[in-house]
Each structure stands twice: as C-alpha cells, then as structure tokens.
Amino acid sequence: MTHHDPDCLFCKIAAGQIPSKKVYEDEQVFAFHDISPWAPVHFLLIPKQHIPSMAAVTPEHAGLLGHMLTLAPKLAAQEGCNPYPEGGFRLVINTGEEGGQEIHHLHLHVVGGPRPWKKG
C-alpha cells in the first residue's frame, strides 16, 4: 500500500495539487467540500495515506478510522449541521463499484443540514 498515488484525484487534492474548498487538515487527514453536494452540508473526509477503499482496510488502520469518525461530528457542527438529537448528519462510505464508489481512495461523506422534504 503506497502512501500516495500520483494518479489519484484525492491524493492530488490532499497534496494541494488540485484546488479544493478545505474544511480541515492535519497530518493524517484532509477534509474538503464536495463539488456536487447532496445537502446544505456535504464534505469529504479522506486519509492522506492512499487507501483504495474500505475493502483494503486492515487492523493497522484502526487508529486512522477512529480519528476520522471522532472528527466527523466536530466538523459537521463547524460546517453548519444542527446539534443532535434534533439536528444531525449522515456518514457514508461507498465501497467498490457495486457500492457506488467513484473515486478509489477511501473517503467518508459527511452530509447534513435541514432536509427540505421533511415537514413540520
């Protein structure tokens, strides 16, 4: 498993080679707004290490995945998601072709904000 794939779109975004609207960055992860948002809040949280998908995750990635999952609520609130329990957000990780994965670099969609179809 390489730390960086020179042909990977998300590796290039994390490296600053392709512009993005950054949400957050540290030594392990990079978060940026989705270019085709599904909701008022929609950003991607990716590891800087190139991991092709959840199918490629091993026990050595447990700390990284824990870091991503504990960052998600903080970043969701920062980006405008209303607080739990009335508010909230959705976390989605697509895996493989049949799972809807389009970019083969592990990424966590954080999606939230008011749902226009919900009444009352």
> pLDDT digits over 49-94, tens only?
999 999 999 999 999 999 999 999 999 999 999 999 999 999 999 9
- Please tell me the total count of domains within the chain: 1
Residue 11 has pLDDT above 80, yes or no: yes
Per-residue model confidence (pLDDT) at position 117: 55
Please tell me which residue in 104, 105, 107, 109 is annotated as part of the active site: 107
Domain membership of residue 117 (yes or no) is no
107 in catalytic set:
yes
- Domain residue limits at 19: 9-112
Domain membership of residue 31 (yes or no) is yes
Mean pLDDT of 94-117: 92
Q: Do residues 45 and 71 touch, judged by C-beta distance below 8 A?
A: yes
Tokens of 68: 């991503």
Q: Which residue has the tokens 């969701």?
A: 76
Neighbours of 106 (CB within 10 A): 26
DSSP string, 1-32: --S--TT-HHHHHHTTSS---EEEE-SSEEEE
Domain membership of residue 119 (yes or no) is no
pTM over 0.85: yes
